Structure 1
């Protein structure tokens, strides 16, 4: 079977009749309501997504501008106001979206008669003349046409055999029976705007309005047949790009809906259905639109049909553009040409349809350039506080697929593509204790003044890693660390020296004035480290001045020992860490709870009983004693957020009259009581940063440690880290 034959058959299979609804309350019924009466055929339509039929608005309106049927007694199944003829049955349907609204879709001149659509000159002024009908009963077998993503100005001119029309008609023999389909070869002209002129060699019969217009040279539906001319051999169609105007204001009350962005959702359902049909694991062995398009002549391109299918499916899974101007700009950036502005490009899919006419390897390069820019643009918005982590994950998945597909590009094209990367959500600095290795190390200057390096001969040794995080639980190695474990102070100096360049690069990829946060992951034994007070060289030069890292960007502490905790979303995981995080998200304001009063820290049962919206606070030394026990207990019970002092006091509790602790607790209480449009917990790292960077700096923030362990962005597990676990050389080995 040729490609054209396959496409004809697939389009015919998806074309339906539009008629009065079934007259019973059953979900299906015979195509003819009575053996003594010929059914009224209003027009045609075609399936564009599971459960959704596209047709012309005027097909569903009578000559008086009223929505059919007019007679309530002629109504059908509950909720149905349209009948949809599929496989010889009339299924109940509901007019869900109409452009224009029904009372505006009446022909300006003349009327129509039951079963006869008006001529083109009578409906020419009705724009865009499109409607969506929702099926109220499931199909026995899903089917769907392939809708073009091209704007109408790029259809070109097709000769008499370059296009096709399919519509539902009465049986050609005149006998009573189900409506049958008929296919007509035609020519078409792609003009600016939403109208397409259609020419035929034979008469266009009644019932065609609302049927699909197919571009047989590219194998895609480009229009909805609007009406025929009086000679029957020409007519008008509405370009499917006119669907871009579909919005919530076109929805009919009480009907099924497609959400706040109906056009984007309709295209997502359309593209996802075709992608599933091509998936080998979901194949039924039948031909698909991709199969038919593959057999068409002149389809050779470095941007393959399956590339397009995958790209459109992925584009439908990410958040849409902020405005049509963003799509136009990214098309221009990818192609170096000004995008076609005759029609608005309101989705990423529409932008994809503008990438035409490059040929050869340039075709693949331009499409990948556009998709990479889309992924970066979406990630910038999705990585903001409060964004949906799933959106971040989908943007990253699109970017990874683009880079994998980019392996086929020539060297210079690969280089251009490599510079298009999502900005990191955060930079992660991890310190891990080198397992089971202790050594006799002389005091080499690094141990002096470092309370965590140890004063004796035996010292714990640490390795470090610097990674970029993209918000979906995936991390990539940014700096290759030294494989040997060293004392913590030396490991810290090594890491901070390497960190400067990584942070500068991450900042450059983000919007101006929006520094990337730094997350420092430490074992519980190092929770007393003043991570926000660490000083770092401002560039790679040894003579470069140092600045306090917590004044330059948000800095938070994370618990590296939580690496073995269940990841959010793991099936069956009873995770207090995730539960308490959800409690913080839903809390109108955060509530501080002191982990230790003057005499004793809170016990395990007391901590467990605290509400999920509480934030533990401690002013004691957390490196040892009751303060250390308190923060370790809170971490073990899954508290995601806590605040304490790196310079906390020892025991017993100091004189309250000194005011040192009360100033700290009052400052924390004011910080946590803030309210805003977003959950308070999401803005907490940024608000602490602004306090640290302010002039003058709030005195109570000196030594403040913000423990902030977001379970939506888990640390890389040891088995998933993008590098092997660093080891330590045995100095006694030969």
Structure 2
């Protein structure tokens, strides 16, 4: 092992930083191609570094793990590490289980870098005793040039050595990556841990090095939150790799603290480091709480967790701007609480959060769930008894009593006690604005945000001058994050696509964010809105039309088609006279409509129509098929009863087309224009509500 020293000796043996460095090295591993025959895992088979994050789980870089040995769809590696029992070096085979970004499936081509976050999880193929590193619950974005420790394996004079550096500094962020400087990162260290020595927590994974200079980049460990989860409600903890790893990590450190050995644990070292940190919970209390939370089933969804955090912090009118990536687990939520001042109000916030976790709806329950709830309550009660007022302790007892009134604890999904799930009509949705650059054909500026029911929009990402052919690649990350913040397992959030009127035919619902994956319109309801709508004239009551469609009923009206032939949309006086239950159907709306077709749409918006069906003409095939479209569209609109059900109805039809159900084929290329007048679009450049 090699220590890279700073201005003075590395650390005195009795300093907590020396103990921290020892913990880091014990958890750091090297990754090799699988051994065959007479192979001692030397430099020839060495792929890179990694570290244990939970029992039998190794975190590393995707570009390291993907160069393992492939056996069909499975990628195998060997994980080599120091035997904690002092028996020398151990080697255990492992299987690549999860990769970020999603879709990376093989070794990167020569000269190509795996894009961020470039992370991978390896599961050991047999149970093995080993130490685990401690992951920060939240990685601060406010880097200040403070020191960091990093570790990794590299080749030195033909031999593999573990190098630990204490000279590095964080230098801020480049996109989603931490910049590292002031010491040299050498080849083979990719996948090694980056540690904050002030709190004794792993904050990043080494990704790249600067060639010919010092430093490089690391990926913040919070990027693990972007691991894809399974569709629908979780069946059990193992159903979601992210939740399984988080829970195993927190149980390990709680158990390690409860049963100390002859050497320091991460909690012991953190306690010595954090004596003046000022947080409301000390490291031992934090390890205990995270271990208790890990015994509960995870949150049903990120959306529900965000709402729960907002309510715990007293923000009942809305969630407010959220971190990116958004929290998914109970440990993530704890890390997002504003409890850094250490006062009674901060402790009350933490304990309210705990009580929300006790009473939260569950994706599943086990026979141990009631016991886990009771143990967490006992911990909350004991802590409040020593440090908080009688009045607040009474509030906690009331919350506990209310949670015990539930009789549905064994159901797969319980009814929320504190209203974590928003009321109907209050669900957040995702807004994608695509603004064409008039001087550059098929090129767009774009913005992605989370649109709340109160009209506020939180920015997730944006871009300028993106070619149409590159849009899905550029939008994949921001849209996936926005969906994670809004989706429920049984109710995907609506995607609102705001387009210029001349671009309303752009079939965004047919785009796939993952090559070969289902289109957006199959995954969720997708509706279109207009960036530059014609303003309603003085004689129009658009709100009355909107309210009628959402409370009374609907029927379709064919406004540009007669016997399969195109006809111009009627004059505004005639449109204004149609009943408020009318949903216009435009059969001949091309992807880029001609002037008269575009003017017909403008007449509809000027006369107050904010719910329309647009059939994007496919350009081929007999127009006589319009008759079937008229019949089936009229039936679907009638069955939906109110306009709020139409996005879901169109979504079901798109899933039917994807599943090759011929009765749904008529709806192919039918778009729903759904433009809520109560919530106007924020406008160009105004999607700025960011953390």
TM-score w.r.t. structure 2 length?
0.51
Alignment of 1:290 with 2:267, yes or no, is yes
Structure 2: how far apart are the matches of 1:358 and 1:299?
9
Structure 1: how far apart are the matches of 2:268 and 2:41?
32
Residue 85 (structure 1) aligns with: 80
2:180–2:215 contact (8 Å) kept in structure 1:
yes
Alignment of 1:240 with 2:218, yes or no, is no
Map 1:387-536 → 2, pairs under 5 A: 388-411=366-389, 412-423=391-402
Residue 268 (structure 1) aligns with: 247
1:557-576 CA distances to partner (integer Å, 9 max, x unpaired)? xxxxxxxxxxxxxxxxxxxx
2:226–2:325 contact (8 Å) kept in structure 1:
no
Q: C-alpha displacement at 1:235, in angstroms?
A: 1.4
1:328–1:339 contact (8 Å) kept in structure 2:
no
Structure 2: how far apart are the matches of 1:511 and 1:219?
37
SS class of match (1:85):
strand
Aligned residues: 385
Structure 1: how far apart are the matches of 2:305 and 2:174?
19
Q: 1:327 aligns with which of 284, 295, 305?
A: 305
Which structure's CA Rg is the greater one?
A: 1
TM-score w.r.t. structure 1 length?
0.48
Alignment of 1:100 with 2:101, yes or no, is yes
Q: C-alpha displacement at 1:301, in angstroms?
A: 3.6
Structure 1: how far apart are the matches of 2:124 and 2:296?
27
Residue 144 (structure 1) aligns with: 132
For the structure 1 residues 192 and 310, does the alpha-carbon distance in structure 2 shift closer, same or farther, using more than 3 Å as the test?
Answer: farther
Q: C-alpha displacement at 1:388, in angstroms?
A: 3.9
Structure 1: how far apart are the matches of 2:331 and 2:183?
36
Alignment of 1:127 with 2:116, yes or no, is yes
Alignment of 1:156 with 2:142, yes or no, is yes
| Unpaired stretches in structure 2, ≥5 consecutive residues | 1-13, 83-88, 421-691
For the structure 1 residues 339 and 277, does the alpha-carbon distance in structure 2 shift closer, same or farther, using more than 3 Å as the test?
Answer: farther
1:239-279 CA distances to partner (integer Å, 9 max, x unpaired)? 111111223679xxxxxx97311101101111111111111
Alignment of 1:209 with 2:190, yes or no, is yes
Q: C-alpha displacement at 1:511, in angstroms?
A: 7.6
1:90-142 CA distances to partner (integer Å, 9 max, x unpaired)? 3322212222357457657x53xxxxxxxxxx53x613211111222444x42
Structure 2: how far apart are the matches of 1:268 and 1:131?
18
1:320-371 CA distances to partner (integer Å, 9 max, x unpaired)? 1122122222222223364633221111111000124333333322211211
Structure 1: how far apart are the matches of 2:268 and 2:254?
12
Structure 2: how far apart are the matches of 1:470 and 1:68?
47
Structure 1: how far apart are the matches of 2:53 and 2:313?
30
Q: C-alpha displacement at 1:211, in angstroms?
A: 0.5
Alignment of 1:5 with 2:18, yes or no, is yes
Q: C-alpha displacement at 1:295, in angstroms?
A: 1.2
Higher alpha-carbon deviation: 336-345 or 127-136: 336-345
Alignment of 1:165 with 2:150, yes or no, is yes
Structure 2: how far apart are the matches of 1:313 and 1:164?
26
Alignment of 1:259 with 2:243, yes or no, is no
1:15-74 CA distances to partner (integer Å, 9 max, x unpaired)? 01111112249xxx7443xxxxx433211000001111100001123xxxxx4337x8xx
Residue 15 (structure 1) aligns with: 28
Structure 1: how far apart are the matches of 2:192 and 2:322?
27
2:33–2:78 contact (8 Å) kept in structure 1:
yes
For the structure 1 residues 84 and 158, does the alpha-carbon distance in structure 2 shift closer, same or farther, using more than 3 Å as the test?
Answer: farther
Q: C-alpha displacement at 1:238, in angstroms?
A: 1.1
Structure 2: how far apart are the matches of 1:261 and 1:222?
22
1:3–1:291 contact (8 Å) kept in structure 2:
no
Structure 1: how far apart are the matches of 2:346 and 2:15?
26
Structure 2: how far apart are the matches of 1:416 and 1:426?
16
For the structure 1 residues 103 and 511, does the alpha-carbon distance in structure 2 shift closer, same or farther, using more than 3 Å as the test?
Answer: closer
Structure 1: how far apart are the matches of 2:141 and 2:148?
11
Q: C-alpha displacement at 1:192, in angstroms?
A: 8.9
Residue 51 (structure 1) aligns with: 56
Map 1:316-355 → 2, pairs under 5 A: 316-336=294-314, 338=320, 340-355=322-337
